[in-house]
Structures are given as C-alpha cells and as structure tokens.
Amino acid sequence: MIALEGIRKAYGRRSVLDGVSLALEPGRITALVGPNGTGKTTLIKVILGLTRPDAGRLLLDGEPVDDDGAYRARIGYAPQAPRLPENLAVGEVFAMLRALRPGAALDERLIEDFGLRGEWQTRVGTLSGGWRQKLSSACAFLFAPDVLLLDEPTAGLDPVSSGLLKAQLRAAREAGRAVLISSHILSELEEIADDIAFLSDGQFRFSGPISGLLEETGMRRLEPAVAALLRGLRVEQGGAPRSRVRA
C-alpha cells in the first residue's frame, strides 16, 4: 500500500538512514524495532513528509506521492512522547483536526474506549504522559486511515488501555489497513505484529514475517531472536559488546 524505496537521510555527517526500503501491506501489522537512535522515528517522519529524505522515493499504491501533502489524508500518525499543542483543550484538538478535514469518515471508538470525553475540557499541557499518549493514538485513528503509523504507542499506557489499543489494531488489520508500530516492548509486538523490520545503523538487518525471523535465528520467541540478531551485529562489528543497546 505504501512503500519506501532507497531512502537516505543524513544529519550533517551522521547518516541515519542509508538506503532503506520497506513496504507496508494492507491487512498487516509491521513492527519497527531497533536500538535507540537508529532512525525509527526518522523513518516514520519520512513517510509523513515531516523529514525530507536526501534520496529515495515514497510510493502510495505504486505512485510517487505529491508534494502538496494531500496523500496524508490516508495516513494516521501517533507521534512519540506525544507532541501535541499544549494550550489547546482535548476537545479543541479533535475539533481542529475535524475542521481541517471536513467530510472525512470518522472512527471515534478509541475516544470512547479511552474515556477521552471525560477530559474534553482539559488542556493538553496538564494531561499526564499516559493520557497524552491516549489522545495521540485516538487522533491517529480518528479518520479511519488506510495507513497507521504509531511511534511507541504503548509507552506510558496502563495495561487496560494498551489492551484496548491492541484490540483496535487488530480491528484495523481486519479492516485491511496497513499498520507500522515502533516499540521496544517485544512481547507486545509478538502478540499483534505479522512482520518485523529490524533497523540498525541505518539499514534493515531483517525485514519480513516474524516466523521467518524465528526460523532464521532458530529461536521460539521474538525476544531471544532479536537478541540473536543484535549479537550477530556485534560480532560483525568486531565483537566489542556495546552497552545500552536495547532491542
């Protein structure tokens, strides 16, 4: 449905994405994993057009996207550590989004499920981290988009809320939407994701069905399989274990 081809992006001399290609298919949930600072967020922002790649193409249904941003009508995005305007009230955020897309179909189930109506008058700046996360996810789902991009959507969510979100993600898959989730919580991804894309040092070290990764590494669970990938990387890089590497 949406595809990246040969995306390169460098900030100054530091190359973040080094020729990355990825296709998101309808009805599939893709998990985007990788150590901190490997460009997961940059990759998502390239799909959104928030970050301009140095090279490469973005295709929607096989066609290169226009620069005027109209293609974003088909994308729902929940940013990491929700970056939302602080001085608007929750209700005003939704009202503004709806005003920007008059006539679009609405999916307000997450608003109801999360109980966001109870916080309708609360200013975003005074919401707790978890509530902002809920607001952000509800915004991403609001227009029933074909493509969902969720950057660490369950960070800071209580178990009940993250269960509700997962139920919505499954429903989205049933409805034939393409979903990309970045997360560090592998057990959670294992539960809902079909495919996994492992990004490290600007390139995908693995990209394909989770079952394929398990097979390749000879593991039965995702966590040790990703750990095996990381170990493989370290051996490649000369064996020195890098501290603070999380998958």
Partner 1 sequence: MSTIGLVLRASARDLARNRWLIAYAAGFWAVTEALFYFGGSGPQVILSLLNAVLFVVPLVALVFGTAHVHASREFIEMLLSQPLSRRSVFAGLYLGLALPLTAAFLLGAGVPLLLHGAAADAPRLALVLLATGGALLTLTFAALAMVIALATDDRLRGMMLALGAWFVLTLAYDGAVLVLVSAMGDWPLERPLLALMLLNPVDVARVLVLTALDASALLGYTGALFRRVFGSALGPAVAVAALSAWAAIPVLVARRRFLRRDF
Give the footprint of partner 1 on this chain (CB under 8 A): 45, 48-52, 67-73, 75, 77, 79, 83-88, 96-97, 99-101, 139
Task: Find, among 83, 75, 90, the residue nearest to 144 by Cα.
Answer: 75
Nearer to partner 1, 21 or 80 (CB): 80
Nearer to partner 1, 100 or 171 (CB): 100
Nearer to partner 1, 14 or 52 (CB): 52
Q: How far is the CB of 160 from partner 1 (least distance, A)?
A: 26
Nearer to partner 1, 45 or 134 (CB): 45
Q: How far is the CB of 87 from partner 1 (least distance, A)?
A: 6
Q: How far is the CB of 122 from partner 1 (least distance, A)?
A: 16
Q: How far is the CB of 143 from partner 1 (least distance, A)?
A: 9
Nearer to partner 1, 85 or 115 (CB): 85
Q: How far is the CB of 187 from partner 1 (least distance, A)?
A: 29
